[in-house]
Amino acid sequence: MIVEEIKNALDDVRPSLQADGGDVEFVSFAEDGTVSLKLKGACGGCPMAQMTLKMGIENYLHDKVPQVKTVVGV
Protein backbone atom coordinates (compact mmCIF):
# COMPACT_ATOMS: atom_id res chain seq x y z
CA MET A 1 0.00 0.00 0.00
CA ILE A 2 2.78 2.46 0.87
CA VAL A 3 4.58 1.65 -2.38
CA GLU A 4 1.42 2.43 -4.36
CA GLU A 5 1.05 5.76 -2.53
CA ILE A 6 4.67 6.61 -3.35
CA LYS A 7 4.21 5.69 -7.02
CA ASN A 8 1.04 7.79 -7.22
CA ALA A 9 2.84 10.77 -5.68
CA LEU A 10 5.70 10.33 -8.16
CA ASP A 11 3.13 10.45 -10.96
CA ASP A 12 2.22 13.93 -9.67
CA VAL A 13 5.80 15.24 -9.99
CA ARG A 14 6.69 13.34 -13.15
CA PRO A 15 5.25 15.96 -15.61
CA SER A 16 7.57 18.64 -14.20
CA LEU A 17 10.59 16.41 -14.69
CA GLN A 18 9.47 15.36 -18.17
CA ALA A 19 9.06 19.00 -19.17
CA ASP A 20 12.83 19.36 -18.64
CA GLY A 21 13.64 16.15 -20.52
CA GLY A 22 13.94 13.89 -17.48
CA ASP A 23 11.98 11.36 -15.49
CA VAL A 24 12.03 9.48 -12.20
CA GLU A 25 11.87 5.74 -11.58
CA PHE A 26 10.84 4.13 -8.29
CA VAL A 27 13.42 1.57 -7.15
CA SER A 28 12.50 0.58 -3.59
CA PHE A 29 11.03 1.49 -0.21
CA ALA A 30 12.83 0.31 2.95
CA GLU A 31 11.27 -0.26 6.36
CA ASP A 32 13.26 2.67 7.79
CA GLY A 33 11.35 5.05 5.49
CA THR A 34 14.03 5.40 2.81
CA VAL A 35 12.82 5.65 -0.78
CA SER A 36 15.35 4.84 -3.51
CA LEU A 37 14.76 6.55 -6.83
CA LYS A 38 16.58 6.74 -10.13
CA LEU A 39 16.56 9.99 -12.06
CA LYS A 40 16.57 9.38 -15.80
CA GLY A 41 17.12 11.35 -18.97
CA ALA A 42 18.28 14.92 -18.56
CA CYS A 43 17.71 14.66 -14.80
CA GLY A 44 20.21 11.80 -14.49
CA GLY A 45 23.21 13.96 -15.36
CA CYS A 46 21.95 17.30 -14.15
CA PRO A 47 24.11 19.12 -11.59
CA MET A 48 20.89 20.00 -9.74
CA ALA A 49 19.81 16.34 -9.42
CA GLN A 50 20.49 16.15 -5.66
CA MET A 51 18.52 19.32 -5.07
CA THR A 52 15.66 17.95 -7.17
CA LEU A 53 15.66 14.76 -5.09
CA LYS A 54 15.91 16.43 -1.69
CA MET A 55 14.15 19.78 -2.01
CA GLY A 56 11.58 18.75 -4.58
CA ILE A 57 10.69 15.08 -4.58
CA GLU A 58 11.52 14.29 -0.95
CA ASN A 59 9.52 17.24 0.37
CA TYR A 60 6.55 16.31 -1.81
CA LEU A 61 6.67 12.66 -0.73
CA HIS A 62 6.86 13.73 2.96
CA ASP A 63 3.60 15.62 2.49
CA LYS A 64 1.80 12.87 0.58
CA VAL A 65 3.19 9.75 2.31
CA PRO A 66 4.13 10.40 5.96
CA GLN A 67 5.99 7.08 6.21
CA VAL A 68 8.68 8.44 3.86
CA LYS A 69 11.64 9.71 5.88
CA THR A 70 14.28 10.27 3.21
CA VAL A 71 14.86 9.94 -0.52
CA VAL A 72 18.13 8.72 -2.03
CA GLY A 73 19.27 8.51 -5.62
CA VAL A 74 20.68 5.31 -7.05
Report d(CA 42, CA 23) in Å as an integer.
8
pLDDT digits (tens, 9 = 90+) for 12-44: 999 988 988 889 999 999 999 999 999 888 777
What's the topology of domain 2-73?
Answer: GMP Synthetase; Chain A, domain 3 (3.30.300)
For the chain, domain boundaries? 2-73
List, in order, residues 6 or more apart from 15 with CB less than 8 Å away. none
What predicted TM-score, i.e. pTM, was given to this entire model?
Answer: 0.87
pLDDT digits (tens, 9 = 90+) for 38-70: 988 877 777 778 888 888 899 999 999 999 999
